[in-house]
Structure 1
Amino acid sequence: MAYLDNIRTFVRVYELGNMSAAARDMRISAAVASSRISQLEDHLNVRLFQRTTRLLNPTEQGNLFYQGAVKILEAVDEAEADISSVTQTPRGTLYVAAPLGLGQRLVAPAVPKFKEAYPLISIRLRMSDRKLDLAAEGLDAAFFLGVPEDSNLRIRKIADCPRVLCASPDYIRQRGQPKNSEELKTDAHDCLNLRYPGAPEFQWPLRSQDGVKRVTVTGPFESDHGDVLTNWALDGHGIILKPVFEISEHLASGRLVPVLAEEPPIPIQMACLYVHRRHQDPKVRLFMDFMVDHIQASLPSE
């Protein structure tokens, strides 16, 4: 297994472009990761990476070996999946991602329950509000809110989640209730937006008498962390657009109150995404079936 471990380490270093990042991702030390790359280079008698003090770039041989290495790992994973199907004892490690709000509230609480039901399967859960590339980051599945841009991914729909525009009572006292969505475009109100590198201009899709309209909004604060936006709204700094499941406790307590009820936001799709070939793996199917059932049961009723 040592040679296979070396190949897996090489692939993660290649994909992440950083030894330390790959080591963290694989739960090993940077020294171990470096040692595995060196062993692989000694075995192949080539230099796989060109190292400088700051950069780690694959060589021509490294680029060539990566193509074959990915095929090797895919073949091994498929073989293990076939064995799991025959023995009906799914085993192995699943790499899963989720947005912070969804991950913290709905996915993470269910992971120990899944592990209890399937003790031979380990879960590596990454939570981030940034955009993820499933194939490049070696993910088996990723939970998602919205409509994915990558048409090559398969989608397992979980639910259409209602959303709400809301703000704190202090904000409403100071700035007043917005009379219509057009006010969200002006300095009359501050809107708090979720942003990440490369994100387009943000628009809030709202229902009106004329159908769905997309309102381009701006505000004084932006963050790539959804809970930061919620905390800013709780402190009276602006209006947020949020799935109800993320802020249901604040709505129930009155710390956040709905605004523009006559122009509500359209629901957002919650889904689980996976690369098509991954769904052939029994442990991926088991995980998705388990999590879909758990999340659907955990979502607040409208």
Structure 2
Amino acid sequence: MSYLESLRVFVRVIELGSITAGGRDLRLSPAVASNRIKDLENRFGVRLLNRTTRKLTATEIGRAFYDHARRVIDTLDEAEAMVSSFSGKPQGVIRLTAPLGLGRRLIAPLIPPFCAENPGVDIRLRLSDRNVNIVEDAIDLAFFLGEPADSALKWRKIADAPRVLVASPEYLAQHGTPTTPDELVGHNCLLLRYPRSPEFFWVLQAADGPQKMMVNGRFDTDDGDVLRQWALDSQGIANRPLYEVADDLKEGRLVQLLPDTPPISAQFGCLTPHRRLQDPKVRMFADFAVRELKKAF
């Protein structure tokens, strides 16, 4: 493995916090990733990492070296992007992230046809309903539902994604159907929550403007698909994007509640770090995805 490839391993190990995670991100075994770090340490005659059985941290010289190594790799990536833009043949890896349900239903199906048209591109898709640090995790393109808070990132809106309150006919037969937002308080509301999650309430669109509802439920999860399944299993009321439950509503497995005061729509779009805006392969995938995804809304 070349010196530059060893630098990539070191950078990803620092960013992801472990040799195993850094190696996995680059499709290397922990043993190979560890050897790459040792090669760098032997090359310079210094220790770059402090290793214990529970924790890996950079030494003082390791932290300083990381800053320079990150700049070297960013410069190399920009140079490769420039050459690729002239050749017209995109090359390299695109790292994508998206919420679980959205990623499974809408993003994952886009990858095979894009890669068939661009055989020089590899795509790594990471799905999570938790917040992802796009810069630290070296994400090229993040698909996002909601209001982006980081002004350091470029936001490209794709569509408004309507949301609906849903429950199964069996749940409603047993517990009654709420006819006003205030009646949600007496129901088991299924919530998407995780550490530092912002969703501790629902916001409904009432006639006089947004109405915040402090709803509660007996259980919550950090996986949106689990919420949908709990609703299908008659466990309570869920607040889900319409695209996710459209077939369930059409087939009668779920019923839409309070259609006159629905949850406010979420913005659906993609975020890109500014330093990667000129990468043609990222721009090509973003253009392709936006064009195809608009058809789903």
Where structure 2 has 5 or more consecutive residues not aligned to the other structure, the ranges are none
Instruction: Indicate yes or no: 2:288 matched with 1:290.
Output: yes
| Matching residue of 1:220 | 218
| Structure 1 outlier segments of 4+, above 6 Å | none
Q: Is the 8 A contact 1:156 1:273 kept in 2?
A: yes
Question: For 2:88 and 2:206, how far apart are their aligned partners in 1?
Answer: 52
Aligned length: 297
* 8 A contact 1:131–1:196 mirrored in 2: no
CA contact (8 A) 1:201 1:216 kept: no
Q: Tell me if structure 2 keeps the 8 A contact 1:163–1:265.
A: yes
Kept in 2: contact 1:166–1:259 (CA 8 A): yes
Partner of 1:163 in structure 2? 163
Counterparts of 2:104 and 2:151 in 1: how far apart (Å)?
27
- Aligned identity (percent) is 51
Aligned ranges 1:83-232 → 2 under 5 Å: 83-184=83-184, 186=185, 188-232=186-230
**2:49 corresponding residue in structure 1:** 49
- CA-CA distance at 1:200 after TM superposition: 3.1
Which amino acid in 1 is paired with 2:291? D
2: CA distance, partners of 1:292 / 1:44: 46
Q: TM-score, normalised by structure 2?
A: 0.97
For 1:201 and 1:99, locate their aligned partners in 2 and report how far apart those are by CA, in whole Å: 15
For the Cα contact (< 8 Å) 1:163–1:241, is it kept in 2? yes
Shift of 1:201: 4.9
Contact residue 93 and residue 124 of structure 1 kept, 8 A: yes
Query: Matched residues in 2 for 1:242 and 1:98: separation?
Result: 16
SS at the partner of 1:142? strand
What is the aligned partner in structure 2 of residue 5 from structure 1? 5
User: 8 Å contact 2:144–2:271 — kept in the other structure?
Assistant: yes
Aligned-partner Cα distance in 1 for 2:77–2:291: 26
CA distance in 1, matches of 2:170, 2:237: 11
Alignment partner, residue 276 of structure 1:
274
Deviations 1:237-270 (CA, angstroms, capped at 9, x unpaired): 1111111111111111111101111211111110
Question: Gaps (5+ residues) in structure 1?
Answer: none
Residue 254 of structure 1 is aligned with which of 252, 255, 260?
Answer: 252
Distance in 1 (CA, whole Å) between partners of 2:32 and 2:72 is: 21
Cα distance in 2 for residues equivalent to 1:192 and 1:10: 42
Instruction: Read off the aligned partner of 2:129 and give its amino acid letter.
Output: D
2:234 corresponds in structure 1 to 236
For 2:229, the aligned partner's letter is: N
Give the aligned residue type for 2:83: I
The separation in 1 between residues aligned to 2:239 and 2:133, in whole angstroms, is: 25
Q: CA RMSD in A?
A: 1.1
Instruction: Name the CA distance, whole Å, in 1 between partners of 2:223 and 2:212.
Output: 22
Is 2:57 aligned against 1:60? no
C-alpha distance in structure 1 between counterparts of 2:85 and 2:198, whole Å: 43
One-letter amino acid of the structure 1 residue matched with residue 117 of structure 2 = A
Supply the distance in 2 between the matched residues of 1:21 and 1:198 (Cα, whole angstroms).
Answer: 23
TM-score, scaled relative to structure 1: 0.96
Amino acid of the structure 2 residue aligned with 1:251: L
